[in-house]
Structure 1
Amino acid sequence: MVCLAALALVASASAVLGETTPRGSKASCAQFSPSNISDVTLTAATYFHAHARVDISNVFSSINTTDLPAFCRVELKIVTNATAGSFAVTEVWLPDAWNGRVVTVGNGGLGGGVTVEDLGAVAVPQGFAGISTNTGHNSGVADGAWGGPHNDNAIVDWGWRAIHLSVLAGKEITKQYYHKVAKRSYYVGCSTGRLKEIQNFPDSFDGIVVGSPAAWMSHLQPWSVHMSLNVLPATSSRFIEPSVWTDVIAPEVLKQCDALDGVTDGIINEPRACFFRPETLTCTPGQNTSTCLTEDQITTIHKLYADYYVGDQTYVFGGFYPGGEKAFGTGLVGNPPFPLSQDWFRYFVLNDTQWTQEQYNTSLLALGEQLNPGQSDAVTPNLTAFADAPHNGKVLHYVGWADQLISPGNSLHYYETVHAFARANTSLAVDDFYRLFPVPGMNHWCSGPGANSFGGGSSQKPPLSFDAEHNILGALMRWVEDGIAPSKIVAVKYKDDVPANGVAFTRPICKYPSAVRFRGGDPNSASSFFCA
């Protein structure tokens, strides 16, 4: 089914281009030898026939499938700083049936590794030449040890440089392989979303899909520690066990807020309308505390759902939103502490391998802002160079309302700052270049009880179709190339989040500030809901 949809999209792409697009082959892959690309070395070019076994893994990502069309896997070594001797590993996957476009796929957290899963799940099946990099190092998502001691050069590679150089190299590789310049350049990524690239290099992409971006690392990581310290140590009276989040708090949140959108379905479609009162769970004398909340725990919950401010009420970050409780206890407010945040301070800010989060104080927030490790903060609201003529770039931004690792409030905050800047300083209307789609019931990247698959990356599982109605990359492509902007995207929830098990239900994802409302009918069908 996926392969047929991919072939249909390739045919559609050819029609859009109005010409026959170049095709690759086993011979062109075997003979490929790029020339005159400064600081770029070809390390391998491997051809995969249609439905060949593609079994590739690294510390960050893996793929093992026989469902892909024919393509050439080009592996590169890109020098990022000749003086320091640093380099990034980058891959460009070039399908035989090329649709005339390139798409760069992102990474996540502090991880380093070519995202082969998305090259195989997003790029090649849809006919794109796909680009991905290890960001200059190899590591898992939460491992920041590679950043120390004082490895500032590697941190800069991770922060922006490796992906920028990879985009430049990937476009040139694509041009030389097909003997034709790509018509359009896109980006798809979640978590470590590349808002930085369109802010600094507005010509890199014609459009980007960015999911729950960790674009304000100097604030995100202090907030993560702050959230953890609200509940730890685990021996304290304020700690909340994962089972209490799942079996006690989550059902009560749904009891109070689930039906606000017109249907009781286990999903909170507009969490900002939910004023959760944890006091209803207060322990009565003699009650087993595993089935209720103590006064200290209730106080903690109020802190966790509140925005984080410091000093003279300076905004730092948003809080949790109702609806993600089943994931909270194993994320930032679980035990042991979330490792990524601790590594951020140890290796990126303080260069102190013995530091623990119990030593956190708000002075470290200011220090992190000042250092801005890797120049990774990407919060400038001025997207004029990207969005205005003649470039006319487009942003589709999504975030799970039930995100347990990065507050959805962070996405809303950035969107509103862009909106305000555009209104005050330009003639641009934010809807003409930037649209935000909050996803009810979706955790960070994917999972959760909501409809969580709509083409945002391999972790989400495939969309129902690669067309613009169901696939956020397809929606972006139609907006950029045909001028048709999306107001909703139809997402799918697979049974047990396994596509082979069939469809559980479909739901629209509405353009912010609209929210999903039930109009009546079959609650498992997207047609029974509307955006208002």
Structure 2
Amino acid sequence: MAPVFAAFALLVSAIAALGDATARDSQASACAQFAPDDIPGVTVTAATYFPAYARVDITNIFSSINTTDLPAFCRVELKVTTNATAGSFANTEVWLPDAWTGRTLTIGNGGFGGGVTVADLGGIAVPQGFVGISTNTGHNSTVLDGSWAGPHNDNAIVDWGWRAIHLSVVAGKEVASQYYDQTPKKSYYAGCSTGGRQGLKEIQMFPDSFDGILVGAPANFMTHHEAWAAHMSLNVLPVTSSRFIPESVWINVIAPEVMCQCDALDGLSDGIINDPRVCSFRPEVLTCTPGQDTSTCLTGDQINALHRIYADYYEADQTYIFGGYQPGGEKLYARGLVGAAPFPLLQDWFRFFVTNDTQWTPDQFNASLITLSEQVNPGQADAISPNLTAFAGAPHNGKVLHYVGWADQLISAGYSVHYYETVHAFAQENSTLAIDDFYRLFPVPGMTHCVVCFFPHASGGQAANAFGAVSQPAPLSLDAEHNIIAAMVRWVEDGVAPSQIVGVKYNNDLPSNGIAFTRPICKYPTTVRYQGGDPNSASSFVCG
């Protein structure tokens, strides 16, 4: 009878294969012929079907992907009108997986970048069953180029500030509804830096857009952040000044001393400062003695500059401007805001967004430009309202997960704590909402700005910097213990709030190079502490 059973098994296999092929052809046809009913201001410009494991090779000025690892999906490209009178529009893409979970995930951008974030549409959204939505925010540019905003291109700035994201979210949800003939059950968001700002801006203006947002190192106080960036640069510039600190001194002199003073405070000397708040770094011990080689020590002017770099920035009337650098990221700080040249993003901000003076240079910065920035608030980009009650309160019950690297070289981790605490205070004083029920902050020891993808000259730091967020290597697992997006979904849909996420550090930040260590990332204000055992295993640490 064995041959009969074998023949039957082959027949069943052939029928299944035929069914799969039929289903695939049906999906491909549905994608190619997709023509949604009228969506105001939205035109479909292309619809392309990618079978499972097909080559997906897409590049724009901001983002790229080249892989054969994705499940089947339909890529729908849209032209979304942002201002009919001005004739402005945004390019938006909606990636619709065959194996849809009923959820959408909008992906944010970074810096001044104008381009659909295809890397994370393919790296995060589609593989996890989300409909992925992303936009170029109404222009095409690299992450550091803000020249498109000038002169006086206010309409484009508003698109970048909030309008293109919002209209793309609305359009993307409607495309999903019509493509699947089913309304999305939940809508989520993920972004870092400008992407973090975009997420916070959306829930402040349109609290029903998302059920949960994941924001990393948000640049949501642009009117103050770029002033702080100028202030930081001027602490050490020009390079001919006595206060300038060369990169070699940051790496070979300051960084080792910071670790000497603070690394072991958490119970383990591992090159990571788990909680910089308990580190009272004293740079005076590095003061040059008479005749000492200045490449191995610090002058008095350099020490004064360091104190300003690590301090929060206040104006003369004690108005808070922004947080300072945190001890622990010194090996990269000279490639952030205190290097040999001003960070280019700050120069374009003041040139094209604030002053409309294309000859402006950072050495012209003064405190009056903070006031001017606040008055102009280019593109209404600031997203600093502490009032999230419309988003977080009943009946919407939205959730915020916020992460930041303690060693961030571009946006102070201290500012993330500051914003979180303003939301905390507002909720406590003006509502019955408990902060832990809707907003949780996860500072990541040793992690730099958004890890590696937005700013490729940087590194992810000595940190467990892969935990499922945008612009990161793949997490160790897609479960809610290791993948912060899955943790967000579980919190929104099952009511299980995360108190920690297990991150992984890969050798050279490449999963193919193997695991260096795993580590818990703890909910603020708790911090990770070593309790003994294998220092490379997350099980050897606790949050407390």
With the length of structure 2 as denominator, give the TM-score of the two structures: 0.93
**Which 4+ runs in 1 deviate beyond 4 A?**
none
Name the structure 2 match of 1:152.
Answer: 154
Amino acid at match of 2:484: I
1:460 counterpart SS class? coil
Shift of 1:521: 0.3
C-alpha distance in structure 1 between counterparts of 2:229 and 2:474, whole Å:
30
C-alpha distance in structure 2 between counterparts of 1:407 and 1:40, whole Å:
38
Shift of 1:494: 0.4
Amino acid at match of 2:167: L
Amino acid at match of 1:166: S
C-alpha distance in structure 2 between counterparts of 1:383 and 1:354, whole Å:
39
Which of residues 101, 108, 117 is equivalent to 1:106?
Answer: 108
Structure 1 residue 470 and structure 2 residue 482: aligned? yes
Structure 1 residue 247 and structure 2 residue 252: aligned? yes
Which of residues 345, 348, 351 is equivalent to 1:343?
Answer: 348
Q: Note if contact 1:23-1:97 (Cα within 8 Å) is conserved in structure 2.
A: no
C-alpha distance in structure 2 between counterparts of 1:34 and 1:252, whole Å:
61
Higher-RCO chain (CA-CA 8 Å, sequence separation at least 6): 1
Q: Note if contact 1:256-1:276 (Cα within 8 Å) is conserved in structure 2.
A: yes
Name the structure 1 match of 2:515.
Answer: 503
Name the structure 1 match of 2:296.
Answer: 291
C-alpha distance in structure 1 between counterparts of 2:101 and 2:531, whole Å:
39
Q: Note if contact 1:207-1:480 (Cα within 8 Å) is conserved in structure 2.
A: yes
| Structure 1 segment 142-221 matched on structure 2, within 5 A | 142-192=144-194, 193=196, 194-221=199-226
C-alpha distance in structure 1 between counterparts of 2:515 and 2:370, whole Å:
44
Which of residues 61, 68, 73 is equivalent to 1:66?
Answer: 68
1:231 counterpart SS class? coil
Shift of 1:285: 1.9
Aligned length: 510
Structure 1 residue 117 and structure 2 residue 119: aligned? yes
Q: Note if contact 1:438-1:510 (Cα within 8 Å) is conserved in structure 2.
A: yes
Shift of 1:311: 2.4
Amino acid at match of 1:325: E
Name the structure 1 match of 2:363.
Answer: 358
Structure 1 residue 454 and structure 2 residue 467: aligned? yes
**For 1:508-528, what per-residue CA distance to the aligned partner results, in whole angstroms no more than 9, with x for missing partners?**
000000000001000000010
1:283 counterpart SS class? coil
Shift of 1:151: 0.3
The unaligned stretches of length 5 or more in structure 1 are 1-21
**For 1:81-117, what per-residue CA distance to the aligned partner results, in whole angstroms no more than 9, with x for missing partners?**
0000000000000111111100000001111100000
2:47 counterpart SS class? strand
Name the structure 1 match of 2:4.
Answer: none
Amino acid at match of 2:532: G
Q: Note if contact 1:24-1:178 (Cα within 8 Å) is conserved in structure 2.
A: no
Amino acid at match of 1:501: N
Name the structure 1 match of 2:439.
Answer: 434
Q: Note if contact 1:112-1:140 (Cα within 8 Å) is conserved in structure 2.
A: yes
Amino acid at match of 1:274: C
Q: Structure 2 vs 1, CA of residues 208 and 23 (structure 1 numbering), >3 Å: closer, same or farther? A: farther
2:424 counterpart SS class? helix
Structure 1 residue 259 and structure 2 residue 264: aligned? yes
| Structure 1 segment 375-524 matched on structure 2, within 5 A | 375-446=380-451, 447-457=460-470, 459-524=471-536
Amino acid at match of 1:315: Y
Structure 1 residue 369 and structure 2 residue 392: aligned? no
Shift of 1:23: 12
C-alpha distance in structure 2 between counterparts of 1:60 and 1:240, whole Å:
32
Shift of 1:24: 7.8
C-alpha distance in structure 1 between counterparts of 2:282 and 2:514, whole Å:
37
Q: Note if contact 1:23-1:178 (Cα within 8 Å) is conserved in structure 2.
A: no
C-alpha distance in structure 1 between counterparts of 2:25 and 2:477, whole Å:
24
**For 1:159-214, what per-residue CA distance to the aligned partner results, in whole angstroms no more than 9, with x for missing partners?**
00000000000000001111111110000000011200000100100000000100
